[in-house]
Amino acid sequence: MSHPSDSRSAGSVVLLVVALLTTGCASVTQAPGRGGTLSYTPQQWRQAKPRADTTLEGPGTTSGIVGEQGAERTRQALLESIDEVNSSLEGVESALSKLATRRIGFDGRSINGEVLTRFLHHGSKQLTWIRGALGSATSLMDVASEVEDSAMRLGVLRMTGPRLQSAMFGTLLLATWVDFLQLSDALLRECFMCGVEKQYVDLHRVRGLMETPLAGLASQDPDRVEAAALAMPELMGELTREFNALRSDGLSAMELGGKVLVAAQVLEMVTLISSLKMSLPRLPPAAPATLGVGLAMSSGGVMAGSRIVVSAEWVEMMRRLVQAGVISVPAISAAVRIHGGQVMMAQGHQDLPKGVREALGDSPEVRGMRVTGRAGAGMSEPPRHHVLPKEHREWFEQRGFKGDMDIDQFCVRLEQAHHEAIHGGGNWKLGRMWPDEWNRRIMRTLNDAELAAGQKLTRNEVLSIVAENMRLYDIPMKFTKGRSR
Q: Which of 476, 479, 481, 483 binds another protein (CB under 8 A)?
A: 476
CA–CA distance, 11 with 397 (Å, rounded to integer): 64
CA–CA distance, 78 with 65 (Å, rounded to integer): 13
Q: Is 446 in the site for another protein (CB under 8 A)?
A: yes
- The smaller minimum CB distance to another protein, of residues 326 and 470, is found at 470
Minimum Å gap between C-beta 423 and another protein is: 13
Q: How far is CA 17 from CA 11, 182, 340, 484, in A?
A: 10, 16, 20, 53
SS3 343: coil
Minimum Å gap between C-beta 66 and another protein is: 10
Q: Is 207 in the site for another protein (CB under 8 A)?
A: no
Minimum Å gap between C-beta 129 and another protein is: 34
Binding piece for another protein, criterion CB under 8 A, among 53-61, 97-105, 265-273, 294-302: 53-61
Minimum Å gap between C-beta 450 and another protein is: 7
Minimum Å gap between C-beta 152 and another protein is: 12
Binding piece for another protein, criterion CB under 8 A, among 211-219, 339-347, 371-379, 451-459: 451-459
Site string for another protein, 385-424 (x = CB under 8 A): -----------------------------x-xx-------
- The smaller minimum CB distance to another protein, of residues 215 and 472, is found at 472
Q: Is 471 in the site for another protein (CB under 8 A)?
A: yes
Rounded (5°) CA angle 316-318-319: 65
Q: How far is CA 413 from CA 140, 224, 476, in A?
A: 21, 16, 9
Q: How far is CA 18 from CA 194, 222, 248, 459, in A?
A: 21, 37, 13, 55
341-358: string of b/e by CB count within 10 Å (b at 16+)?
bbbbbeebeeebeeebbe
Q: Is 60 in the site for another protein (CB under 8 A)?
A: no
Contacts of range 2-7, beta carbons closer than 8 Å, 24 or more positions apart: 2/255, 2/256, 6/255, 6/260, 7/255
Exposed, middle or buried by CB within 10 Å (0-12, 13-18, 19+), for 386? buried
Contact 382, 413 (CB under 8 A): yes
Q: Is 171 in the site for another protein (CB under 8 A)?
A: no
Q: Is 73 in the site for another protein (CB under 8 A)?
A: no
Is the C-alpha dihedral spanning 269, 38, 301, 354 positive or negative?
Answer: negative
Q: Is 454 in the site for another protein (CB under 8 A)?
A: yes
Minimum Å gap between C-beta 367 and another protein is: 14
Q: Is 62 in the site for another protein (CB under 8 A)?
A: no
Stretch (H or E) spanning 304: strand 301-304
The DSSP code for 62 is G
Q: Is 469 in the site for another protein (CB under 8 A)?
A: yes
Q: Is 365 in the site for another protein (CB under 8 A)?
A: no
CA–CA distance, 380 with 428 (Å, rounded to integer): 18
Minimum Å gap between C-beta 308 and another protein is: 37
Closest Cα to residue 133, out of 166, 181, 169, 157? Answer: 166
Contact 249, 353 (CB under 8 A): no
- The smaller minimum CB distance to another protein, of residues 2 and 416, is found at 416
Minimum Å gap between C-beta 472 and another protein is: 4
CA–CA distance, 197 with 163 (Å, rounded to integer): 37
- The smaller minimum CB distance to another protein, of residues 162 and 476, is found at 476
Contact 276, 176 (CB under 8 A): yes
Number of residues that bind another protein (CB under 8 A): 42
SS3 296: strand
Site string for another protein, 129-158 (x = CB under 8 A): ----------------------x-------
Q: Is 56 in the site for another protein (CB under 8 A)?
A: yes
Site string for another protein, 322-361 (x = CB under 8 A): ----------------------------------------
Q: Which of 54, 184, 279, 323 binds another protein (CB under 8 A)?
A: 54
Minimum Å gap between C-beta 465 and another protein is: 6
Q: Is 53 in the site for another protein (CB under 8 A)?
A: yes
Q: Is 30 in the site for another protein (CB under 8 A)?
A: no
Q: Is 296 in the site for another protein (CB under 8 A)?
A: no
Site string for another protein, 76-95 (x = CB under 8 A): --------------------
Q: Is 444 in the site for another protein (CB under 8 A)?
A: yes
Half-sphere exposure of 76 (CA within 13 A, CB side): 13
Q: Which of 10, 21, 52, 359 binds another protein (CB under 8 A)?
A: 52
Q: Is 475 in the site for another protein (CB under 8 A)?
A: yes
CA–CA distance, 467 with 217 (Å, rounded to integer): 29
Contact 297, 356 (CB under 8 A): yes
- The smaller minimum CB distance to another protein, of residues 316 and 461, is found at 461
CA–CA distance, 329 with 321 (Å, rounded to integer): 10
CA–CA distance, 160 with 136 (Å, rounded to integer): 8
The residues of the shown chain that bind another protein, judged by CB under 8 A, are 52-57, 151, 414, 416-417, 426-430, 440-442, 444-455, 457, 461, 464-465, 468-469, 471-476
